[in-house]
Chain A
Amino acid sequence: MSLRIGIREGVRTITRNASLFIMSLLVTSISLFLLSLFAFVTVNLYHFLNILDEKIEIIAFLEQNADYEALESNIMKINGVRDVIYVSSAQALKDLQAELKETEEVLRVFESNPLPASLRIKLLAKFRNARGLEEISDKVMLLRGIRETIYGGELVDQLKKITGVITTFDIALLLIIIFSVVFVIFQTIKLTIFARATEIDIMRLVGASNTFIAIPFTFEGITQGIMGGFIAFVLTVITKRVAVSFLSDIYFPQGYFFLGSILCGIIFGIIGSSLALRRFLK
């Protein structure tokens, strides 16, 4: 009963104060769009860093006629190794040819294939640093049939440091943006609630419970959040389409962005309206 009346009151206030609602919706949409845009940049940044991280590996060159299958299974037993991929001498040449398409003649200098067979050793995430690489590389070197190993070493640690700084900066910025978005949404909702101070006053006066008074405003906050979230999502999709024409490798998990925008809208709408209502419901 009270929920039905509360929602009816919510719909009524939205339709009777349409211009105020639209203004408030606009501010909410833009705020959520900013947040979504930041999330979009962040997701792509992490995606890129992840790709870089995945590329950290040890390449172990094999001696001629080494038993690569035995080596493969021995290396797999080393703590920190996730995967071992065998690259035959012929495959290595093929890869190189693909990479040096335009300077293919260079390879013709050699009469036979000069490239040795190798094992590409992929590591677990926590071993992808200078120490982990060195430790595993040393263990691999002890195995019979390994001629040499190469890995990034200090370069990897540099990369990790840069990643760390970017991540910290990103989280700080995210917090600032979330705070600003909640603040802006809260201020806007407060304006719309202030416009209906008499209504709240009367409800309190005639003995409506605080929960009842909050229903129409929370309903309005949620409606605004859902609509604002949806508009923000559409704007982000448009931005993504524009970005794709400049950058080829764009990561955009559409489903998550849709859900995220709507959920953020709902949560901020609820938080905003309850914060704004608090001063009326003493």
Chain B
Amino acid sequence: MITFDNVTKVYQKDWVALQDISFFIEKGEFVFINGKTGAGKSTLLKMIYKDEEPTKGTIKVLDQNLRLLKKKNIPKLRRKIGVIFQDFKLLQDRTLEENVAFALEVTNTQPRDLRKQMLEILTYLRLSHKKFSFPYQLSGGEQQKVAIARALVRDPYILLADEPTGNLDEKSSQEIIDVLLDINYKGTTVLMATHNLKLIRKVKKRMLRIEDGKLASDE
């Protein structure tokens, strides 16, 4: 499902973010990407949805060599990948419902399908009763769930989570992890970047550890 083959990413001024990274992730896997802040976890995730280009090496996602993927086809790739972040990236001037609908509308979903898909995902994440609330009226955990709803509403093959529990307390973090595990159980491949080793040990899933831009372990 995701293949990295000797991938190196060098930013300006010869700053090496990632060096010779190789791994393979199968369909339906749950994988943690672990490393300190600045180790290159976010860069790695960004390369999967082609927000960053590797300087060297090959990346294949959903059987597509990303280097050969034309610019006009990038949106199509992104529609198959959901992404969530530490800072949620919600539109503060829109209700929960509008935030989720936004992801469907901008990808041209028919209004009837839109309502159905939205209702399903909000019910699944137990958010239906808050659909008219604005993000600032929700707790951190709830806001992250809205971000998950937005990422999942298009039924993606892969879900990328970049430090999704970074801003949350322990209880909310656990809730989010449970949701991600459940999503994975239903068949979606999940990649979660986190520096929190305690959390990883509790879940017992595959972990790719990155140190100074290199793949230090795959366990």
Q: A interface vs B, CB < 8 Å? A: 1-2, 5, 16, 198-199, 201-210, 212-213
Interface of A is mostly: helix
Q: Which residues of B contact A203 (CB under 8 A)?
A: 106
Q: Which interface residue of A5, A204, A205, A206 has the most chain B CB atoms within 10 A?
A: A206
**CB nearest to B150 among chain A residues:** A206
Q: Is the CB of A206 within 8 A of B49?
A: no
A205-B93 in contact given A2-B108, A212-B106 (Cβ < 8 Å) = no
Contact partner of B106 (CB less than 8 A), chosen from A16, A201, A208, is: A208
B102 contacts partner chain A, Cβ-Cβ < 8 Å: yes
**Which of B75, B102, B103 is packed against the most chain A CB atoms within 10 Å?**
B75
Contact yes or no, B91 A206, CB < 8 A: no
Chain A nearest Cβ from B165, distance in angstroms:
19
List A contacts of B91 (CB < 8 A): 198-199, 202
Structural contact, A206 and B154, CB atoms closer than 8 A? yes
Q: Closest CB-CB distance, A148 to chain B, in whole Å?
A: 77
Tell me the complex Cα distance, A166–B90, Å: 57
Give the B interface residue count (CB, 8 A): 22
Q: Which residues of A contact B150 (CB under 8 A)?
A: 202, 206
Cβ contacts under 8 Å, A213 to chain B: 106
Asked whether, in the complex, the Cβ of A206 is within 8 Å of the Cβ of B106, the reply is yes
Asked if B78 is an interface residue, CB under 8 A from chain A, the answer is: yes
Q: Which residues of B contact A (CB under 8 A)?
A: 49, 51, 72, 75-80, 83, 89, 91, 93, 102-103, 105-108, 150-151, 154
Q: B residues within 8 A CB of A204? A: 51, 75, 78
Known: A2-B108, A5-B106. A206 touches B89 (CB 8 A): no
Alpha-carbon gap, A1 to B154, bound state (A):
18
Q: Report how far A209 CA is from B93 CA in the complex, Å.
A: 23
Smallest CB–CB gap between B219 and chain A, Å?
Answer: 30
- The answer to whether A208 touches B107, judged by C-beta atoms less than 8 angstroms apart, is yes
Q: Which residues of chain A are within 8 angstroms of B78 by Cβ–Cβ distance?
A: 204-207
- Say how far B156's CB is from chain A's closest CB, in angstroms: 9
A207-B78, A207-B79, A208-B75 given; A202·B89 CB < 8 A: yes
**Cβ of B93 to closest chain A Cβ, rounded Å:** 5
Shortest Cβ distance from A212 into B: residue: B106
Instruction: Give 25 CB contacts A-B under 8 Å.
Output: A2-B108, A16-B93, A198-B89, A198-B91, A202-B91, A202-B150, A205-B78, A206-B78, A206-B79, A206-B103, A206-B106, A206-B107, A207-B76, A207-B77, A207-B78, A207-B80, A207-B106, A207-B107, A207-B154, A209-B72, A209-B75, A210-B75, A212-B106, A212-B108, A213-B106
> What is the CB-to-nearest-CB distance from A279 to chain B, in angstroms, rounded to a whole number?
14
Q: Which residues of A contact B106 (CB under 8 A)?
A: 5, 203, 206-208, 212-213
